[in-house]
Amino acid sequence: QLQLVESGGGLVQPGGSLKLSCVASGGSLDNYWIGWFRQAPGKEREAVSAINSKGGNRKYVDSVEGRFTIFRDDAKSTVYLQMNSLKPEDTFAYYCAAATPFCLLTASWSDQRCYRSWGQGTQVTVSS
């Protein structure tokens, strides 16, 4: 069964950068969209970005467009989220999850009902 593990979070100053990794085990990422989501304590989880199985289709929520970049290396079973120009409002726990293209044929890339194999999350804190 596909399992995903996030890493790369930490404490960074405003304007700084972090690169998150989402590593898969127990299966191949080849046929999945991979999404990044984030959540603050007591708040709803929100979509951040997603990438299709071939890597040619990338989606971003407006608040991170131009600052975050999602990319994948299927040979390493890893999807990355490069986060630049970080702001305090980017402080969240970040999660990755996998979605089958079939579900996303009729749903938005940000529809969390399509995603499964959620990781345990990695904390990103942006503060001076």
User: pLDDT tens digits for the chain (128 residues)?
Assistant: 899 999 999 999 999 999 999 999 998 888 899 999 999 999 999 999 999 988 889 999 999 999 999 999 989 999 999 999 999 999 999 999 999 878 888 889 999 999 999 999 999 999 99
Q: What angle do CA 79, 127, 22 make, to 5 degrees?
A: 10
Q: Are the C-beta atoms of residues 97 and 4 closer than 8 Å to each other?
A: yes
Report whether 57 contacts 108 (CB < 8 A).
no
